[in-house]
């Protein structure tokens, strides 16, 4: 018997919906077996995950707040991936966006309160764009791999952010925090408003506006059409007069700005300061997973980001279950299993298993 992968003749609509759904269900089942094998009550844990993320008003608020930066970083990834630019620099661009946003947020204390929030958000966008500029230039005009350059810049941005808070008495560090260094609070005028007592802030609204904007850019503009041509047929794009170098540079800069806006929304909406521990939780890398699971669809990215945000939100709850508390390593492994199998299931959208019997020919 021989098992092989066979490409589907035509991908039907139920494949696009049913296969990912079955993959997630399979991931949950495998995760449950993993929990039982390690001595935990899988039913109680999944019940807690559901209650803390999706079935209470407070839990839904936390889930949407966690999903907000993921929407931005997913949009950043899918814009670049659409033209076969595999930038993985959203993580670093988010950090620098947070640095720029917090710097401006600290400085606006004496300025008009009406301008404080726009100034902080624009600063975050500019920060992400600035951090993407060199990788974009190298990719567009010298053909340097954007994977390598953006990854290297991620580490530089991480160490820069940590240095500004932990390594020196800089403008960003709160001078009153000596034993436990913390970022200086931005001016309250620069805080993004929240919805009542919930943790949801107006960054979510901005993320949804950005989603519609990116969809419009991709589907309804000449620039979006040129992106499609460049992504589907690079050689044809060159011969048809598409300015490939300029397009490459512009797309990467847009991607950087979206990632920088993720950092700004976290600073202005949640932490209200430059917080390395709060920002360096893999939001940029998670955005790549979200964009991939969404098949580079902006609206799909919103849905996947909410699901991913729920997984993140439930991780902390799993560590406070009394006698059934789950260590952070187990909680993270559980999330990873579900996401890994969900990603693996994407293979079966376009391929199917073929089982064939080996026929023996007698001499």
Residue 110 has pLDDT above 70, yes or no: no
Whole-angstrom distance, CA of residue 357 vs CA of residue 298: 43
CB 256 within 8 A of CB 93: yes
Mapped onto helix, strand or coil, the DSSP state of residue 355 is strand
Task: Quote the DSSP letter at residue 86.
Answer: -
Interval 132-185: pLDDT, tens: 999 999 999 999 999 999 999 999 999 999 999 988 778 899 888 777 889 999
Of 288, 132, 287, 299, the closest CA to residue 210 belongs to 299
Total H helices, total E strands in the chain = 15, 2
Count Cβ neighbours within 10 Å for each residue of 100-119 and write b for 16 or more, e otherwise.
bbbbbbbbbeeeeeeebbeb
Domain enclosing residue 297, as ranges: 70-307
What kind and span of H or E run contains 228? helix 222-232
Residue 19 lies in a domain: no
Relative to beta strand 2-7, strand 351-356 is antiparallel
Among residues 230, 245, 249, which one has the least CA distance to residue 135?
249
18: in domain: no
Total domain count, the chain: 1
Per-residue pLDDT at 328? 66
pLDDT in tens, 183-241: 999 999 999 999 876 788 999 999 999 999 999 999 999 999 999 999 888 888 888 88
Of the candidates 146, 148, 157, the one whose C-alpha atom is nearest the C-alpha of residue 249 is 146
Reference 56, options 208, 207, 198; nearest CA is 198
Contact 272, 121 (CB under 8 A): no
Task: Please indicate, yes or no, if residue 75 is contained in any of the structural domains.
Answer: yes
Is 17 within a domain?
no
Q: Which helix (H) or strand (E) holds 351?
A: strand 351-356
End-to-end CA distance of the chain: give it in Å, rounded.
20
Question: Helix axis angle, 57-81 relative to 90-107, nearest 10°?
Answer: 120
Q: What DSSP string runs through 49-60?
A: HHHHHTSSHHHH
- 22 located within any domain: no
3 state SS of 10: coil
Q: How confident is the model at residue 343 (pLDDT cuts 50, 70, 90)?
A: confident
Residue 317 inside a domain? The answer is no
Report the pLDDT averaged over residues 331-349: 75
User: CA–CA separation, 41 vs 206, rounded Å?
Assistant: 39
CB contact at 8 A, 100 and 127: yes
Q: Does 106 have pLDDT greater than 90?
A: yes
CA 238 to chain centre: 31
Answer whether residue 325 is part of any domain.
Answer: no
Segment 71-96, tens digit of pLDDT: 999 999 999 999 999 999 999 999 99
């Amino acid at each position: 018997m021989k098992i092989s992968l066979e490409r589907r003749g035509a991908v039907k609509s139920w494949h696009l919906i049913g296969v990912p759904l079955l993959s997630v269900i399979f991931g949950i089942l495998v995760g449950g077996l993993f929990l039982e094998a390690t001595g935990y009550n899988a039913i109680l844990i999944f019940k807690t995950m559901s209650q803390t993320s999706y079935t209470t008003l407070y839990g839904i608020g936390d889930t949407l707040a966690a999903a907000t930066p993921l929407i931005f970083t997913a949009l950043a990834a899918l814009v670049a991936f659409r033209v076969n630019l595999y930038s993985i620099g959203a993580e670093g661009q988010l950090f620098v966006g947070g640095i720029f946003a917090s710097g401006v947020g600290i400085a606006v204390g004496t300025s008009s309160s009406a301008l404080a929030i726009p100034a902080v958000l624009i600063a975050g966008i500019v920060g992400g764009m600035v951090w993407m500029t060199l990788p974009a230039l190298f990719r567009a005009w010298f053909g340097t791999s954007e994977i390598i350059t953006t990854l290297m810049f991620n580490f530089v941005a991480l160490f820069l952010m940590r240095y500004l808070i932990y390594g020196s008495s800089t403008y960003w560090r709160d001078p009153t925090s000596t034993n436990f260094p913390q970022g200086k609070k931005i001016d309250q005028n620069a805080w993004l408003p929240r919805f009542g007592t919930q943790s949801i802030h107006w960054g979510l609204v901005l993320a949804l506006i950005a989603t519609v904007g990116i969809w419009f850019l991709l589907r309804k503009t000449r620039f979006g059409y040129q992106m499609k041509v460049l992504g589907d047929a690079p050689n044809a794009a060159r011969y048809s007069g598409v300015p490939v170098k300029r397009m490459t540079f512009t797309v990467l800069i847009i991607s950087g700005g979206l990632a920088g806006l993720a950092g700004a929304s976290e600073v202005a909406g949640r932490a209200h300061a430059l917080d390395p521990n709060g920002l360096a939780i893999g939001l940029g890398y998670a955005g790549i997973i979200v964009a991939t699971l969404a098949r580079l669809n902006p609206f799909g990215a919103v849905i996947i980001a909410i699901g991913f945000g729920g997984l993140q939100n439930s991780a902390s709850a799993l560590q406070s279950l009394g006698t059934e508390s789950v260590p952070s390593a187990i909680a993270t492994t559980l999330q990873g299993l579900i996401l890994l199998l969900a990603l693996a299931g994407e293979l079966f959208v376009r391929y199917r298993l073929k089982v064939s019997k080996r026929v023996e020919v007698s001499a």
